[in-house]
């Protein structure tokens, strides 16, 4: 857990590290993250588990800047997300411009898809490449169609989200996040809102992304079988703290903490 | 509800005989008297008035009497009524023009005000709130008088009456429209804002491609209602600013021909013919939007 700055922060394939130091976040009197130190290496696949209210989703949300941290630092690929270094080496709060620059390395897929309902699938995917990354519509469309092909939805390019099933929506949302070629991908309970028979198609897409290894993946999920299969490391969270972490075979197979055992027991009963 | 028609205080509740409940049940019983209940009295009075009017109107010598009309001109004249139509149509076009121009200002300025009010800077949002609340809580009649005096007292500004009228209507309804836009913007789900952040969209793209396209359809029915309301407020301008709308025409006819019933009735008919289809269109729009949202 004590990886230092000497580690490589960016892999040759483009995946980037995530390094959190002393990250704290509270909503009013409710502390959701306490002094969190977390390192994710470039290309690593980390699954975060824990009961609801444990702060696991908040980790992804602060990394995506959907919530701002109260204390600590977060670095993506070696660059500070919320801070800028002055010429004297001191850290100061970052400008929105700086945050936008670093944020362009991060992509996120949401539990409830959050597709833009007034745009077709392909337009959803093309929007950021055209508007943020300055691609021509032609190039963006080509990227979009390749991604739709990858998630098996090339036939549905002109469908609006209202015409797609939950699983199809989530696959479009994944394609949309991939279109910006992020170095770090955050997946926030991406199968939790799906009917059980639609979970498989989304997990297959995640497997493909994991196999390519072009991006660091942080996943919050309750699919323990999938976590065991895909994760390099599983982290158990409770009450805003990481209480245990390790390879899936160890953490899921032989948990050390009583809290982890009771949580895994409760999840297995489903 | 059936016990509401009972006149006996003890009949509406089985335990009303108990001495402790006596005062309450007595009060309730008072309301049972039919002439104390507005939902009975009002229709009865209306039917009675209607019947009276029918009876009077059916007298062959005076189908329609009005105290506004001078003696000798008491009879409602259909030929005269229709003879006024072209002149009143002219007025209606002026009224419609002021409405449309005013509403264009309201729809665009309203969005600007809504966005200013949302600004993170207090130096922007507080003045926006002040303007919206001030204009919304003062009558449009007073605003028109004020605008007229302001323009006349300022030598640098010279505007014709119609321009003053549609600017006042535009600003007045812009403040209402801004509240509608605000509600529409708030109705865009949080997930849409988060997706825009996650895709790193800039503020301009976020607003023009994500938020406004989803907020405006929700606002359209409300804006439609404001359009109809603005249309009905524009004749105030005829009275205050002497713009040549329907009310101005009716007043002019009344001064020259000494007949008031026909022109004023024509205004009523004209507004009905425009407002009813407009209201129907707005309702259709509402239905269609709620259908598309599902």
At residue B36, the pLDDT reads 63
CA distance B200 to chain A (A): 6
At residue B73, the pLDDT reads 55
Spans in chain B with pLDDT lower than 70: 1-40, 50-74, 290-294
| B200/A116 touch (CB, cutoff 8 Å), yes or no | no
Residue A188: its chain B contacts at CB < 8 A? none
Q: Which one of A66, A176, A180 has the shortest CB-CB distance to B200?
A: A180
Residue B214: its chain A contacts at CB < 8 A? 116-118
Cα separation of A185 and A121, whole Å?
20
At residue B61, the pLDDT reads 44
Chain A positions touching chain B (beta carbons under 8 Å): 64-66, 100, 103-104, 106-108, 110, 112-118, 127-128, 131-132, 176-177, 180
Q: pLDDT by residue (tens digit) across A65-118?
A: 999 999 999 999 989 999 998 888 888 899 999 999 999 999 999 999 999 999
Question: How many CB atoms sit inside 10 A of residue B112's CB?
Answer: 13
Q: What is the pTM (predicted TM-score) of this model?
A: 0.77
Residues of chain B with CATH 1.10.3720.10: 79-293
User: Which residues make Cβ contacts (< 8 Å) with residue B203, sequence separation at least 6?
Assistant: none
At residue B159, the pLDDT reads 86
Question: How many CB atoms sit inside 10 A of residue A87's CB?
Answer: 5
Residue A64: its chain B contacts at CB < 8 A? 194, 197-198
CB pairs under 8 A between A and B: 57
Q: What is the C-alpha end-to-end distance of chain B, expressed in Å?
A: 37
Chain B positions touching chain A (beta carbons under 8 Å): 189, 191-192, 194-195, 197-202, 205, 209-210, 213-214
What burial letters (b/e) apply to B129-155, b meaning 16+ CB within 10 Å? Answer: eebbeebeeeebeebbeebbeebeeee
Residue B192: its chain A contacts at CB < 8 A? 114, 116
Q: Which one of A112, A118, A128 has the shortest CB-CB distance to B199?
A: A128
User: Which runs of consecutive H residues, i.e. helices, occur in chain B?
Assistant: 22-32, 38-57, 78-83, 85-118, 122-136, 140-153, 161-186, 190-198, 203-205, 212-233, 235-241, 246-257, 261-293
Cβ neighbourhood burial of B246 (10 Å; 0-12, 13-18, 19+)? buried
Searching chain B, which residue's CA lies closest to the CA of residue A186?
B198
| Sequence-separated contacts (24+) of A238-241 with Cβ below 8 Å | A238/A50, A238/A51, A238/A54, A238/A263, A239/A53, A239/A54, A239/A55, A240/A31, A240/A32, A240/A33, A240/A34, A240/A36, A240/A54, A240/A55, A241/A34, A241/A36, A241/A55
| A132/B195 touch (CB, cutoff 8 Å), yes or no | no
| B198/A64 touch (CB, cutoff 8 Å), yes or no | yes
At residue A1, the pLDDT reads 43
**Overall fold of domain B79-293:** MetI-like fold (1.10.3720)
User: Which residues make Cβ contacts (< 8 Å) with residue B284, sequence separation at least 6?
Assistant: none
Residue ranges of domains in chain A:
109-181
At residue A104, the pLDDT reads 93
Q: Which one of B192, B201, B205 has the shortest CB-CB distance to A114?
A: B192
Spans in chain A with pLDDT lower than 70: 1-7, 13, 269-270
Going by C-alpha positions, the residue among B86, B85, B107, B89 that lies closest to residue B97 is: B89
| Sequence-separated contacts (24+) of A203-208 with Cβ below 8 Å | A205/A150, A205/A151, A205/A152, A205/A171, A205/A174, A206/A174, A206/A230, A208/A150
Strand duo A216-220 + A184-188: pairing: parallel
Going by C-alpha positions, the residue among A200, A249, A255 that lies closest to residue A223 is: A200
ipTM above 0.85, yes or no: yes
Cα separation of A38 and A31, whole Å?
17
What burial letters (b/e) apply to B60-97, b meaning 16+ CB within 10 Å? Answer: eeeeeeeeebeeebeebeeebbeebeebbeebbebbeb
DSSP B188: S
Searching chain A, which residue's CA lies closest to the CA of residue B190?
A114
Residue A105: its chain B contacts at CB < 8 A? none
């Amino acid at each position: 857990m004590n990886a230092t700055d000497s580690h490589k922060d960016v892999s040759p394939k483009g995946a980037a590290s995530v390094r959190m130091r002393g990250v704290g976040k509270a909503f009013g009197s409710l502390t959701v993250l306490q002094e969190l130190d977390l390192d994710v290496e470039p290309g690593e696949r980390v699954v975060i588990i824990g009961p609801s209210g444990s702060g696991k989703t908040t980790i992804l949300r602060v990394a995506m800047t959907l919530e701002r941290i109260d204390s600590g630092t977060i670095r993506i690929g070696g660059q500070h997300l919320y801070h800028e270094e002055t010429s004297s080496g001191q850290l100061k709060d970052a400008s929105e411009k700086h945050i936008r620059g670093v944020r362009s390395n991060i992509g996120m897929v949401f539990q409830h898809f959050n597709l833009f309902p007034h745009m077709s699938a392909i337009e959803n995917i093309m929007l950021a490449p055209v508007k943020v990354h300055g691609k021509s519509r032609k190039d963006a469309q080509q990227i979009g169609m390749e991604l739709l092909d990858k998630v098996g939805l090339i036939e549905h390019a002109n469908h609006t989200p209202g015409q797609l099933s939950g699983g199809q929506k989530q696959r479009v949302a994944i394609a949309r996040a991939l279109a910006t070629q992020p170095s770090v991908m955050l997946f926030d309970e991406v199968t939790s809102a799906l009917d059980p028979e639609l979970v498989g198609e989304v997990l297959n897409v995640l497997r493909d992304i994991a196999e390519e290894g072009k991006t660091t993946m942080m996943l919050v999920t309750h699919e323990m079988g999938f976590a065991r299969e895909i994760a390099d490391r599983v982290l158990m969270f409770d009450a805003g703290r990481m209480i245990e972490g390790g390879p899936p075979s160890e953490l899921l197979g032989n948990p050390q903490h009583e809290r982890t055992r009771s949580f895994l027991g409760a999840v297995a009963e489903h | 509800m059936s016990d509401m028609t009972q006149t006996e205080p003890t009949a509406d509740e089985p335990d009303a005989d108990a001495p402790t409940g006596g005062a309450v049940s007595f009060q309730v019983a008072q309301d049972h008297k039919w002439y104390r209940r507005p939902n009975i009295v009002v229709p009865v009075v209306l039917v009675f008035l209607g019947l009276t009017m029918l009876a009077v109107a059916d007298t062959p010598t005076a189908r329609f009497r009005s105290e506004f009309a001078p003696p000798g001109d008491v009879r409602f004249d259909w030929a005269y009524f229709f003879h006024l139509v072209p002149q009143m149509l002219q007025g209606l076009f002026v009224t419609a023009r002021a409405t449309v121009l005013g509403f264009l200002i309201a729809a665009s300025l309203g969005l600007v005000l809504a966005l200013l009010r949302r600004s993170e800077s207090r130096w922007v949002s507080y003045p926006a709130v002040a303007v919206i609340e001030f204009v919304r809580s003062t009558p449009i009649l007073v605003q028109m008088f004020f605008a007229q005096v302001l323009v006349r007292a300022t030598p640098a500004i010279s505007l014709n009456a119609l321009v003053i009228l549609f600017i006042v209507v535009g600003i007045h309804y812009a403040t209402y429209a801004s509240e509608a836009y605000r509600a529409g913007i708030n109705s865009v789900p949080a997930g849409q804002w988060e997706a825009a952040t996650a895709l790193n969209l800039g503020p301009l793209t976020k607003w023009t491609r994500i938020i406004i396209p989803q907020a405006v359809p929700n606002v359209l029915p409300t804006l439609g209602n404001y359009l109809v309301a603005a249309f009905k407020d524009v004749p105030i301008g005829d009275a205050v600013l002497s713009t040549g709308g329907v009310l101005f025409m009716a007043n002019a006819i009344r001064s020259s021909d000494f007949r008031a019933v026909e022109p004023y009735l024509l205004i009523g008919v004209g507004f009905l013919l425009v407002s009813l289809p407009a209201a129907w269109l707005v309702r259709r729009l509402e239905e269609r939007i709620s259908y598309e949202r599902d």
